[in-house]
Structure 1
Amino acid sequence: MKKVLFVIPTLTTGGAEKSLVNLLNLFDYTKYKVELLLFKHEGVFIKQVPKEVHILSIPNTLKYAFKSLDTDGIKQISSLNANLRRYLGVFYTRIKYKSNQNKGFQIRWIKLYRQAIKDLPGEYDVAISYMHGEAMYYVADKVKARKKMIWIHNDYNAEGFDKALDRPYVAQFDKIVSISEECVKIFCDNFPDAAARTVHIPNLTSSSLIKQMAREFQPVEYVEARGSDPGKVILLSIGRLVTQKGFDVAIQAAKLMQDQNINFIWYIIGQGELREKLQKQIIEANVEQQFILLGIRENPYPYYSHCNIFVQPSRYEGKSVALDEAKILAKPIIVSNYDTVKDQIIEDAEGIIVPLEPQQIAEAIIDLMNNPLKSMQLSEYLIQHEYGNEELIDMYYRHIG
């Protein structure tokens, strides 16, 4: 039986996190002994990890490192090695990288964490970093394994990483996996030496499970919104509250629609670092009654199922789990024209693709609201196609070994 380690920072809401949970729920535990290492034991998806997976206790140095933005964490990691105190100063200088957080994380790992964090005990047949960034650096530097793999979930060009800093880490991985063909191309353009080791494997999605969970309840928020106004159109977006997801643009689109007296309410499922900033923008735009940040929902599928239109205003994606789920539940989709979108959406058949501009998004939403036949045609196309792909688990086994 092969011993496999998966590493991911947390299991908070997000496409990569959901993708990993889907994979773990389809894994063959008669062939593999699977361990999971998180940098923080937090996230809505933790309880969805199957019982066969051993979730490791977080080693102390790793635990303290990822608490290091609070005072207690700084004291703890500093006390482990006094020589590292000077690196803390270097790291906080790098806070200047606020506009490019991923490069800040690279600097943090190289200047501080690589020296502070101890190696993970034990040895594995396969160690998998299921996310690019510090999980990749940890697997490369701190995990002993006969084979190492990395999953790339986004457009590398859009992520803001310094490829000169990444290059020696990428070189240490036996297999690089990305979830879309376009993401593979972009990654190989940046790291041509890795092209022979880079493959496309789609995210796994269980359509039967998603449809089953979508029937569990009707969202109370929707019931209340439609209670006094059955004609109100419900829009839904799902994603982390980060710059990538474009919710700032969505708020501007909502304002334009409000100014035209469009009868809608737009719900956002997700949590993230921009919540306070987005809420302030909502108040300033005076759309508090139309644009609602719901936070995390353990089962989001009834929210998909009962909405009228699914909107994804992302600045970039790899291959969006949320879009796959909206397709499975046959919702009319409006999505921004980020570089990899056509890997996932057939334009005007599976969804409407528009520029990431408030006016364009608002006009596309209003057009679907005013054209029920067009909306129905989008849904009918999706109903007639199967978007689940559990059978591709064998492709994972072939590459994991």
Structure 2
Amino acid sequence: MLESIYIYDYYIEILELKKMNNPKIKILFLINTLTGGGAEKVLVDLVNNLNPEKYDVTVQTVFDKGVNKKYLKPEIRYKTINRFQSELLTLIWGYLVSFVLPARLIYRIFIKENYDYEVAFLEGVPTKLIAASTNINSKKYAWVHTDMSMNYGLEKVFKTLEDHKRSYKQFENIFCVSESVKEGFIKLFGWFENLSVIYNPVDNINILSKANETLIEVAIPDCIKFVAIGRLTEQKGFERLLTACNKLVVEKYNFSLWVLGEGEQREVLEKYILNNNLQNHVFLLGFHENPYKFIKAANYFVSSSYTEGFSTVVTESVIIGTPVITTDCAGMKEILGESEFGLIVPNSTEGLYEGLKKLLTNKEIYLKYNEAVKKRKDYFQLSQRMKEIETEFK
């Protein structure tokens, strides 16, 4: 008995020594917020699935808001730069951080800890701050989630395009979420030797579990059901989606469109629905924490975006097994092939109209894509994606 206790104590001592000699790798991920957007969801999935025995992970936001914050696992440390409760003070702070205060000063005051890796997980302010890091020992990584040649809205965060390019020169690795995003980066900034592609990790087990929950929020109509999900912003193309739907309603097609999400265009979309008598066809359902059961209940998922990077929600739809119709933008062919696993249409109102009409008039297409999408979902295995990511943090 005594011998067993000695062996146990010796074993514990060895473990403690190993911990001392092999401390965890400290990683910082910096992002604007943890709101319900695609990049924010991807970050939560990524950090939650990093090996907790190997990594000490901190997520820091520029602004302290977002529904995704509560989904971080307990072992993930959370910090924020701004804790103002007032909307006005938050707006002022956002202006100062983005356009006035020196990035290095903000870094020294609000980040300052010694990390082994510092990751700017989004374009704009996170990239600007990590590029100004005073930690000479850390490796610095940047993630690029959008085709910046098509969606360049960072002119004020960086004084000039050359200033923006100099910021990216401070990073050891720049990871683009798709080949199309990489091509867009090169088109805007020129060739970078340290540019590579890492596809987004998506927690397929969690998604499938939530998709199987019972949908009680809406009545299930007896017609073709489309679902679209995203922030109600111009970039997501909901106005043109409704225009396409209006043409189909005028032509007497019977269908329903559920739109999940909130944003600044809600009032515009509501007026369009009212003015065109679309109330029996188009339903703005707001934000839902579990959009997956809506995707599963629909016949098709629709993406009407003008630009994307590597669409999280399209990937999620494939995992659930719901066929997709999408406009042709960055990342879609890498998810759906050349319309092998989902229908990719021209990036226009007319393209959406013709694509939706095709799906409404041809049952064989539904059977084709319903079968094809099931074969594609195995391509998005979380374990494989995480293995690729962890090789970058040694």
TM-score by length of 1: 0.83
2:340 to 339, 349, 358: 349
Matched, 1:7 2:30: yes
Structure with the greater alpha carbon radius of gyration: 2
Structure 1 counterpart of 2:389: 396
Tell me by how many angstroms 1:74 deviates. Answer: 6.7
Is the 2:128–2:167 Cα contact (8 Å) retained in structure 1? Answer: yes
Q: For 1:47 and 1:269, how far apart are their aligned partners in 2?
A: 20
Give the C-alpha shift of residue 369 in structure 1.
2.3
CA distance in 1: counterparts of 2:369 and 2:220, whole angstroms = 25
Give the distance between the partners of 1:312 and 1:234, measured in 2 at CA: 14
Residue matched to 2:325: 334
Instruction: Give the 3 Å change call, closer, same or farther, for CA 139–353 of structure 1 in structure 2.
Output: same
Deviations 1:127-170 (A, max 9, x none): 11111111111222356361111100110112223432311211
Residue 261 in structure 1 maps to residue 284 in structure 2: no
Query: Any idea what the Cα deviations from partners look like across 1:229-256, whole Å, max 9, x if unmatched?
Result: x2x2211011111121111100101111
Work out whether 1:213 is the aligned partner of 2:202: no
The separation in 2 between residues aligned to 1:288 and 1:338, in whole angstroms, is 29
Percentage of identical aligned residues: 26
Report if the CA contact (8 A) 2:178-2:309 is conserved. Answer: yes
Contact 2:338–2:344 (CA under 8 A) maintained in structure 1: yes
Q: What's the secondary structure of 2:392's corresponding residue?
A: helix
Choose 334-343 or 319-328, whichever is displaced more. Answer: 334-343
- Any idea what SS the aligned residue of 1:177 has? strand
Counterpart in the other structure of 2:63? 40
The offset of 1:272, in angstroms, is 2.1
Deviation readout 1:88-111 (Å, 9 max, x if unpaired): 9xx6xxxxxxxxxxxxxxx97243
Counterpart of 2:25, as a letter, is K
What is the SS of the residue equivalent to 1:128?
A: strand
Residue 130 (1) aligns with residue 121 (2):
yes
Matched-pair contact (CA < 8 Å) for 2:104–2:133: no
Change (3 A) 1:153 1:259: same
Deviates more, 1:110-119 or 1:373-382: 110-119
SS at match of 1:34: strand
SS of equivalent residue, structure 1 residue 29: coil
Q: Distance in 2 between matches of 1:207 and 1:72?
A: 39
Question: Residue 142 and residue 278 in structure 1: after superposition, are their counterparts in 2 closer, same or farther (change >3 A)?
Answer: farther
Q: Which amino acid aligns with 2:369?
A: L
Classify the secondary structure of the residue corresponding to 2:356: helix
Question: Counterparts in 2 of 1:151-230, with a 5 A limit?
Answer: 151-160=143-152, 161-162=154-155, 163-192=161-190, 195-221=192-218, 224-226=219-221, 230=222
Q: State how far apart, in whole Å, the 2-side matches of 1:315 and 1:219 are.
A: 32
Residue of structure 1 in register with 2:13 after alignment: none
Partner of 2:237 in structure 1? 246
What is the CA distance between 1:73 and its match in structure 2?
4.5
Q: Does the aligned pair in 1 maintain the 2:261–2:286 contact within 8 Å?
A: yes
Residues 1:111 and 2:95 aligned together: no
In the other structure, the counterpart of 1:94 is none
| SS of equivalent to 2:139 | strand
1:366 to 339, 357, 370: 357
Question: Any idea what the Cα deviations from partners look like across 1:341-370, whole Å, max 9, x if unmatched?
Answer: 322222332111212333432232232122
SS at match of 1:36: strand
Q: Give the residue type in structure 2 aligned to 1:111.
A: V
Amino acid at match of 1:393: M
Distance 1:159 1:400, change over 3 A: farther
RMSD over equivalenced CA pairs, Å: 2.4
For each residue in 1:30-67, what CA deviation from the matched residue of structure 2 results, as whole angstroms up to 9, or x when unmatched? 011011111233222222111110112x34xx445x96
State the alpha-carbon separation in 2 of the partners of residues 133 and 30 from structure 1: 32
Residues 189 and 400 (structure 1 numbering): CA distance in 2 closer, same or farther, change over 3 Å? farther
What letter is aligned with 2:163? L
How far apart, in 1, do the equivalents of 2:379 and 2:270 lie?
Answer: 34
Q: Please tell me the residue identity of whatever aligns with 1:364.
A: G
1:297–1:387: structure 2 CA closer, same or farther, 3 Å change rule?
farther
One-letter amino acid of the structure 1 residue matched with residue 250 of structure 2: D
- TM-score of the pair, normalised by structure 2: 0.84
Q: Does 1:30 align with 2:53?
A: yes
Asked whether the 8 Å contact 1:354–1:361 carries over to 2, the reply is: yes
The structure with the greater share of residues assigned to helix is 1
Q: Flag structure 2 segments of 5+ consecutive residues without an equivalent.
A: 1-23, 156-160
Q: In the TM superposition, what is the alpha-carbon distance from 1:5 to its structure 2 partner?
A: 0.7
Pair 1:167–1:155, CA change in 2 (3 A):
same
How many residue pairs get aligned? The number is 360
Q: List gaps (5 residues or longer) in structure 1.
A: 78-87, 92-106
Matched AA of 1:288: Q
